[in-house]
Amino acid sequence: MDTIIPSSLDFANHGADATKKDIQTLCDAVVAHKFNSAFVNPIHIKDAKAYLQGKSKVGTVISFPLGQDIRDVKIHAIREAVQNGVDELDIVPDISRLKEGDEKAFEEELITLVTTAKSMRAEVIVKFIIETGLFLPAAFLHLDTPEIQQGKELVKQASLAIVRSGADFIKICSGMGKRGVSPDDVVFIRSLVGPDMKIKGAGGVHTREQALTLFKAGANRLGTSQAPAIINAL
């Protein structure tokens, strides 16, 4: 893969200071470049839908970036987002459950949140975020220590639970964590979930070269605040 298809990029602005004007600029670029979607904070879903006028999709984040909201808060946020017309949801699950050894509770939350979204509109795309930087360094495939093995096991548990939940994507990193997505992350998770589960990467994807490397590693989609620069570098 030596080219990047614009529809494989989500153009994002999750800035705490993002204004309506900023969101309009984002949406204008999404339409001009034919990106997959404009990804905005929940407060801007209606604005983005109005600016895009059906010309592209709108995505948002839920319990971002920590995943530490109680389940009912996440459910309410999902319902509100879907009612406001969102097309894609990037949700942060409660990863602490896995660290505590409660894989059942972790997976139950995933299933509840997928069901909440899909029962409102079946075509809503659901992604769950694994913050791999909490468990693993950026390059780890060539390393074999007890810490690395423990980290890989937690990422494995999270990945397989997301597949079983009925979600559409595993998203690697929020872009707000210790680090962003790495090629090792993509290669490892792809080896766990096989060719059919979709993978989105985010965090620190600023250049065409970085994007190409991640796509070659097995990513299907990338989220970035630098989508126009990546496309314009082609």
Catalytic residues: 90, 171, 200
Tokens 């029962």, located at residue: 119
Q: Are strands 9-13 and 221-224 parallel, antiparallel or unpaired?
A: parallel
Structure tokens at 183: 């090629």
Q: Are strands 221-224 and 198-202 parallel, antiparallel or unpaired?
A: parallel
